[in-house]
């Protein structure tokens, strides 16, 4: 016999389930598993498949349907999310699946060219396509305050249709109809991050042999990087206007004159200048072109081949 309280909660569960878009997820690595948990927790019917079936066990216990094959998983729902290691694994997993009329969302990290080719590949198979670039690590999934999100590009209709469902694990930022733009934004931001890590590595190397606690330098470094980061807005403004002398704070001539101080300090501290030197070389080349009144924006033009 079903008690009234239980009946109410069963009806509530049923309504909850009916309203939520069913999701198929291919790929239960660290990222896919974190995402799967959030869809389950939010009441989305979820069908999963993974090459190594054991990784689905905990999700099955949490209510996920585990498909025996990728084809079965794809057949189960219209919305098919893929989160695999790389583009080659996407090729392998989706080969032989029937993608006709599917809404394919590929969160696998790729290059812009791979994303564009995948969009065309999906179109030829009758699928609508969105590409994604994940700006988060697994512990940020399902934690809105952590600030993670996914860049999406490709079909705007598809993004609009599934934005709410895709926004369950982590935030969503749509960057355009060109399927390659999500990957491009992803790589652009991560490239800037590596520049920041490179600068930080040099800074820590400088103090390595001294009696300075790295833990004392770290907060100073973090605050300085945060204070300097808004300079990217000035760079963008100069790029848009084409006037690289606009609102210059520290001109290139002065900055190039300062580079020997950095290189001598590195030498005195026994630190290789190999992370700094290429950037300084670009600054010197730009100065040699007669651009001493600019700041560092002209370096961008030297990079673009």
Ligand X SMILES: NC(=O)c1ccc[n+]([C@@H]2O[C@H](COP(=O)([O-])OP(=O)(O)OC[C@H]3O[C@@H](n4cnc5c(N)ncnc54)[C@H](OP(=O)(O)O)[C@@H]3O)[C@@H](O)[C@H]2O)c1
Q: Which residues bind ligand X (CB under 6 A)?
A: 27-32, 50-52, 55, 83-86, 89, 92-93, 108-109, 134, 137-138
CA–CA distances in Å: residue 258 to residues 265, 288, 293:
11, 15, 15
Give the residue with the Cβ less far from ligand X, 53 or 273.
53
Q: Shortest approach of ligand X to residue 26 CB, angstroms?
A: 8
Q: Shortest approach of ligand X to residue 176 CB, angstroms?
A: 20
Give the residue with the Cβ less far from ligand X, 170 or 299.
170
CA–CA distances in Å: residue 159 to residues 64, 74, 103, 184, 244:
24, 19, 10, 18, 37
Give the residue with the Cβ less far from ligand X, 186 or 295.
186
Give the residue with the Cβ less far from ligand X, 149 or 244.
149
Q: Shortest approach of ligand X to residue 8 CB, angstroms?
A: 38
Angle at 227 between CA 225 and CA 228, to 5 degrees: 65
Query: Nearest to ligand X by Cβ — which residue?
Result: 29
Angle at 32 between CA 30 and CA 34, to 5 degrees: 70
Q: How far apart are CA 124 and CA 94, in angstroms?
A: 13
Give the residue with the Cβ less far from ligand X, 96 or 270.
96
Q: Which helix (H) or strand (E) holds 216?
A: helix 214-228
Q: Shortest approach of ligand X to residue 233 CB, angstroms?
A: 26
- 47 and 70 Cβ atoms separated by less than 8 Å: no
Distance of CA 268 to the CA centre of its chain: 39
Neighbouring-strand partners of residue 47: 24, 65
Q: Shortest approach of ligand X to residue 221 CB, angstroms?
A: 23
Per DSSP, 22 falls in state P
Give the residue with the Cβ less far from ligand X, 29 or 199.
29
């Amino acid at each position: 016999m079903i008690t009234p309280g239980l009946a109410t909660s069963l009806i509530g569960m049923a309504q909850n389930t009916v309203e939520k878009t069913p999701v198929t997820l291919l790929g239960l690595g660290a990222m896919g598993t974190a995402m799967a948990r959030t869809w389950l927790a939010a009441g989305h019917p979820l069908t999963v498949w993974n090459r190594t079936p054991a990784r689905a066990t905990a999700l099955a216990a949490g209510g996920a349907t585990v498909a025996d094959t990728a084809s079965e998983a794809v057949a189960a729902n219209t919305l098919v999310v893929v989160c695999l290691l790389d583009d080659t694994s996407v090729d392998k997993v989706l080969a032989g699946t029937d993608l006709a009329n599917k809404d394919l969302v590929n969160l696998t990290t790729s290059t812009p060219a791979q994303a564009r080719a995948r969009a065309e590949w999906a179109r030829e198979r009758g699928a609508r396509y969105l590409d994604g670039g994940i700006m988060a690590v697994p512990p940020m999934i399902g934690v809105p305050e952590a600030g993670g999100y996914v860049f999406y590009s490709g079909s705007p209709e598809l993004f609009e249709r599934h934005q709410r469902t895709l926004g369950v694990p982590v935030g969503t930022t749509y960057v355009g109809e060109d399927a390659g733009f999500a990957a491009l934004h992803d790589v652009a931001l991560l490239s800037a991050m590596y520049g920041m890590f490179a600068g930080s590595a040099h800074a820590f190397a400088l103090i390595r042999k001294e009696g300075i606690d790295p833990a004392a330098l770290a907060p100073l470094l973090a605050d300085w990087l945060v204070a300097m980061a808004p300079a990217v807005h000035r760079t963008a403004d100069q790029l848009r206007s084409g006037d690289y002398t606009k609102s210059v704070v520290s001109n290139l001539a002065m900055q190039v004159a300062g580079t020997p101080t950095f290189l001598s300090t590195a030498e005195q501290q026994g630190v290789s200048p190999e992370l700094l030197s290429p950037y300084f070389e670009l600054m010197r080349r730009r100065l040699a072109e007669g651009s001493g009144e600019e700041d560092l924006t002209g370096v961008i033009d030297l990079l673009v081949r």
